[in-house]
């Protein structure tokens, strides 16, 4: 293998982390996820009126203007002022409500385990971080902490939180009880590739700037350890990525980077490029560095059977990877989601549909189903991906804000509250 030949690390599905780019170094997220479609989406997007109008289920009055709501575990969970509430999807009736601090900039909501909601925010009054886990069956908090989660949902029965005291430490708690399993200080990073591949998830620590240790995230058990030589400089950042561990040390223009192979913990050979491979059905989608380019990340679509490169796209332009097609789009968020441009056939790169003007609704389960288009103050159209193409489902009146979709229910901010609709078709 030559020094410039990429080393490919197979990840399978579900990867969303960025790759380091050649100098000048910039981190840009490559928004990649798995979209399972039953057939190629080849229907053109017309402007015809929708055949089906969603049935309104109910409305929820709010005391503040909030974008902090999600459909989680069969409930619509809403953070409104100093309350976090769960509402039924059949009409919006309240099920439970607990006090939380008022959020500066909104709250993050997720369900790390069935029957739970994890809320994290920055207290608008004190400026302190706040995280709590709510048991939705009992309608009360199971635990809370002055810290913010850095990993939850994909870390098994634990959640990893960043210490809120500014010391750079971490705490690993049981999801349901909040019991502290273990904790540590200093630089740390998680290895998301291990979660994709299965097996125990690793958390890496760098203690004293000299000793690198791999732990089982569940209990802190030491798996491996080795000394590292940073030439007497202080470490600044650490990141597990693409089968490698990257440690940045030094200051300003003298900053340097140590790359270690996560398999052997040996230094990576100078000039070795990094590449990551994702499962795209009958093809591999390989995202890699290109030493001839100062910007951008190419993604090669490789035939699994022959190893031949079928075509190349810009990885930063790919919003979703599907079994039968790639959804491409812009880099910045639109009014309600991620702007789309085209649907292209995975095998050939042929454009199947022009998606200009449509956005991918962010808050929906995978595989994605709902697209949205419309100006912020005008009527809003919703469409769903089907085995035969893109079907315009409904047009809602103007001033519909952010929306979330799950279990055939669409929840949107409208005026001073939320409205729920159901698609029966």
Q: Quick one: which H or E segment has residue 300? A: strand 298-303
Residues in Cβ contact with 91 at an 8 Å cutoff, skipping those fewer than 6 apart: 57, 58, 420
Indicate the SS3 state at residue 284. Answer: strand
User: CA 342 to CA 196: how far, in whole Å?
Assistant: 28
Judged against a pLDDT cut of 50, whether residue 11 lies above it is answered with: no
Task: Give phi and psi for 14, each to the nearest 5.
Answer: 95, 5
The answer to whether residue 207 is domain-embedded is yes
Residue 415 pLDDT class (50, 70, 90 cuts): confident
Identify the CATH number of the domain in which residue 331 sits.
2.130.10
pLDDT grade for 4, boundaries at 50, 70 and 90: very low
Asked, for residue 2, whether it belongs to a domain, the answer is no
Quick check: 124 pLDDT over 70? Answer: yes
In a domain, 52, yes or no: yes
In a domain, 251, yes or no: yes
> Given this model, what pLDDT does residue 5 score?
41
25 domain-assigned: yes
How many domains does the structure of the chain reveal? 1
Residue 345: which domain range?
7-422
Across the range 57-62, mean pLDDT stands at 94
Residue 89 located in a structural domain: yes
Could you report the per-residue pLDDT of 229-258, keeping only the tens digit for each? 888 888 888 988 777 898 988 877 777 889
Which of 70, 128, 134 shows the shortest CA–CA distance to 104? 128
């Amino acid at each position: 293998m030559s020094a410039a030949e990429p080393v490919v690390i197979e990840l399978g599905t579900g990867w969303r982390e960025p790759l380091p780019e050649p100098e000048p170094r910039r981190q840009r997220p490559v928004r990649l996820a798995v979209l399972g479609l039953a057939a190629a989406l080849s229907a053109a997007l017309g402007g015809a009126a929708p055949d089906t109008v969603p049935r309104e289920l109910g409305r929820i009055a709010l005391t503040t203007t909030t974008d902090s709501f999600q459909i989680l575990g069969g409930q619509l969970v809403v953070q409104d002022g100093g309350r976090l509430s769960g509402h039924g999807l059949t009409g919006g009736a309240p099920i439970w409500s607990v006090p939380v601090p008022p959020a500066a900039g909104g709250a993050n909501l997720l369900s790390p385990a069935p029957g739970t909601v994890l809320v994290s925010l920055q207290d608008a009054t004190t400026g302190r971080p706040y995280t709590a886990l709510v048991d939705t069956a009992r309608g009360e908090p199971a635990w809370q902490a002055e810290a913010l989660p850095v990993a939850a949902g994909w870390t098994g029965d634990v959640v990893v939180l960043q210490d809120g005291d500014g010391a750079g430490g971490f705490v690993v708690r049981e999801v349901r009880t909040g019991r502290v399993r273990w904790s540590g200080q200093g630089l740390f990073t998680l290895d998301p590739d291990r979660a994709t591949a299965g097996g125990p998830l690793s958390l890496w620590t760098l203690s004293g700037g000299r000793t690198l240790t791999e732990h089982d995230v569940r209990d802190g058990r030491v798996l491996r350890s080795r000394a590292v030589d940073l030439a007497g400089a202080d470490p600044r950042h650490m990141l597990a990525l693409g089968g490698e561990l990257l440690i940045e040390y030094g200051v300003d223009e003298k900053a340097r980077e140590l790359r270690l192979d996560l398999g052997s913990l040996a230094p990576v050979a100078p000039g070795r490029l990094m590449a990551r491979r994702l499962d795209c059905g009958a093809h591999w989608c390989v995202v890699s560095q290109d030493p001839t380019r100062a910007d951008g990340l190419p993604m090669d679509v490789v035939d699994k059977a022959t190893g031949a490169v079928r075509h190349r796209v810009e990885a930063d332009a790919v919003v979703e990877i599907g079994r039968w097609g790639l959804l491409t789009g812009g880099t910045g968020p639109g009014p309600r989601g991620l702007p789309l441009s085209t649907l292209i056939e995975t095998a050939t790169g042929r454009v199947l549909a022009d998606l200009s003007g449509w956005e991918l609704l962010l808050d929906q389960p995978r595989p994605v189903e709902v697209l949205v288009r419309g100006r912020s103050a005008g009527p809003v159209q919703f469409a769903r991906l089907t085995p035969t193409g893109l079907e315009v489902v409904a047009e809602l009146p103007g001033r519909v804000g952010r929306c979330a979709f799950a279990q055939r229910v669409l929840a949107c901010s409208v005026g001073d509250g939320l409205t729920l609709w159901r698609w029966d078709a």
